[in-house]
Structure 1
Amino acid sequence: MSIETIPAPPEGYRPNVGILLFDMRGLVWVGKRRGFNGQHAWQAPQGGIDRNEDVETAALRELGEETGIGPNLVSIIGHTTEWLTYDFPPEMQRGKFRRNKGQAQIWYALRFLGSDRDVKLNAHKQVEFDAWRWERLEALPDLVVPFKREVYNRIVQDFGHLAAA
């Protein structure tokens, strides 16, 4: 899906992709953010869309950078058709994200065709996660930082039909 085929993200939001990677059982890949601890240290892979990059390419690139899983090990099984947004908390708006009030995301659902051995958290020079596991989709909103929770509730609703019963 080209970024040109969907409306522009809302003003002030950084264009971003999120990835729900489902295994064959219907569980979702979740990673623990490197350097963070506690219940809200977990999330699905996500990242910015580069200038002139289409959304699908960005989703596959981010998946590879954050998990080491290449595009040959996944199939696309769905995506959102509108931007889902969250605002950064005030302390983040002063840091590297000061130019944006939050992120607007298109979410992709992918089926993982590989094995756990294919996950390589250190495949990219900027390591995002220091642990990972397979989790029930409906558990994700309670694992993420509170400012992302509304988006995660929405993706649970939108992709629930793909999840484990």
Structure 2
Amino acid sequence: MKKEEQFNRLVEENDNRIRRICSYYNSNTTDQKDMYQEILVNIWKSLDNFRGDSSINTWIYRIAINTSLSYTGKAYKHLKVMVDAEQHKLASIMDVETLEEKLVEEKQLQRLQNELNTMSVIEKALISLMLEGLTMKEIADVIGITESNVKVKIHRIKSQLRKKLEDTSHD
């Protein structure tokens, strides 16, 4: 298969994923489009170097996350994760059945958004990949840390979010 055909197939298969990642890392639609284009350029440039050490989807996620972080430049430490995901996905992150009911309230969703945006860059990347439905192994491959480290970090993130949201719900 020619490089152009392979690229077009990959873009077609991963278009929605790439667009969602762009939306997680930037709320401005113009910037999202620019970021999307930059991700495509990076996929094209790197396609010949793909060795198959990981799945092609993991490789694309890695390019998308790294490009998104690079795109935001020096401001990435203050990067805001845009959470426009369905409420059931957010509820699954928190492992709390009643959270879905609480998230119906706009105020609770805003609190969650605020808490997510206080996280470190690595925590934001972990959460965005969780929202994408990646397995712990896939997340580990994308981020470049061990699977057990991913599990520990995600467990801590969930615990911290639950505690902070419980604390703010008493206000």
More strand by share: 1
TM-score, scaled to structure 2: 0.30
TM-score, scaled to structure 1: 0.31
Choose 1 or 2 for highest CA Rg.
2
Higher RCO (CA-CA < 8 Å; seq separation 6+): 1
